[in-house]
A and B are shown apart, each in its own frame.
Chain A
Amino acid sequence: DAKTTQPPSMDCAEGRAANLPCNHSTISGNEYGYWYRQIHSQGPQYIIHGLKNNETNEMASLIITEDRKSSTLILPHATLRDTAVYYCIVTLNTGTASKLTFGTGTRLQVTL
């Protein structure tokens, strides 16, 4: 699986957009990018995933560069409840057997 690089921490004011970058320069053509987050002392939660096209769901948007070597997760209106560690994971989609390798992630702190 391709390795990812994320900034260790970021701050964001409540109500503003949080933009979390992820570099995955060694991603292969059939690897997807997945985003999960972990609120303190809880299990991780799926946010969004994509292959090459930008994606949007009720939680967030995922912007993928044309060369697919980096991506940005956007939380459009961050709230205090979005304070968490955000993990960018690149992996093949092999169905139920797909493993998720968690890196160090980005600790997002949303403040008043």
Chain B
Amino acid sequence: GAVVSQHPSWVICKSGTSVKIECRSLDFQATTMFWYRQFPKQSLMLMATSNEGSKATYEQGVEKDKFLINHASLTLSTLTVTSAHPEDSSFYICSGVLRGPWEQYFGPGTRLTVT
């Protein structure tokens, strides 16, 4: 299957700072990328849909001004957590889609800890 990478794999930051997470599709072009968040022992929760060259679509309850998403190319989407707080500590996972749901390839995740 296709490969999606994320960078960094883990990050610790201080409360009030911003953190950028990169999601790259390494061997395919992803018109659509998704961002998920997963708290410990919970399921993945979809945060937003990222489409190349257009504004991201956020799920209900996700603050678009806090979680900035940029999908500047067909192989790169970034998620910036602005003014991070301890409650933003979570496992953030992205995915890139090739043709449909059966070809949604997930990155390895980024573990964010805000102190």
Contacts and interface: CB of A to CB of B under 8 A. Distances in A.
Interface of A: 32, 34, 38, 41-46, 49, 87, 89, 91, 93, 95-105
A30 to B, nearest CB: 13
Contact of B106 (A44, A91, A93, A99): A44
A42 B36 CA distance: 13
Given A43-B4, A46-B104, A102-B44, A96 B109 contact: no
Given A97-B32, A99-B34, A43 B106 contact: yes
A49 B102 contact: yes
Contacts of B81: none
A97 B109 CA distance: 21
Contacts of B46: 99-102
B61 interface: no
A93 B44 contact: no
B94 to A, nearest CB: 8
5 contacts: A41-B111, A43-B106, A44-B95, A93-B100, A99-B46
Given A45-B1, A96-B31, A100-B46, 12 more contacts: A43-B106, A44-B44, A44-B95, A46-B1, A96-B30, A96-B32, A96-B97, A97-B32, A99-B34, A100-B101, A100-B104, A105-B43
Interface residues of B, number: 29
Q: Which 4 residue pairs spanning A and B have beta carbons closest together?
A: A43-B106, A98-B101, A96-B32, A102-B44
A103 B46 CA distance: 11
Contacts of A38: 44
Interface in B81-111: 91, 93, 95, 97-109, 111
Contact of A96 (B1, B4, B43, B99): B99
B101 A34 contact: yes
A95 B99 contact: yes
B100 A45 contact: no
Given A97-B32, A99-B34, A101-B46, A46 B103 contact: yes
